[in-house]
Amino acid sequence: MVTKENTSVKNLLPLGSVVTLKGSDLHRLMIIEYYVVKDSKKASIDPNDLTGKVFDYEGIDWYEGRAEPREFILFNHDKIQNVLFRGYINDTSREFMNKLDQHIKEKYNI
Map residue 58 onto helix, strand or coil: strand
Taking each continuous run of H as one helix and of E as one strand, the counts in the chain are 1, 6
- Provide the mean pLDDT of the chain: 79
Report the percent of the chain where pLDDT is more than 70.
69
Q: What is the pLDDT of residues 23-76, one digit of tens each?
A: 877 779 999 998 887 766 566 666 666 667 788 899 988 876 566 655 688 888
> For residue 45, what pLDDT is reported?
60
Report which DSSP code applies to 9. G
Torsion of CA 42, 104, 29, 38, to 10 degrees: -10
> For residue 1, what pLDDT is reported?
38
**What distance in Å separates the CA atoms of residue 71 and residue 25, rounded to the nearest whole number?**
18
Query: Domain residue spans in the chain?
Result: 9-108
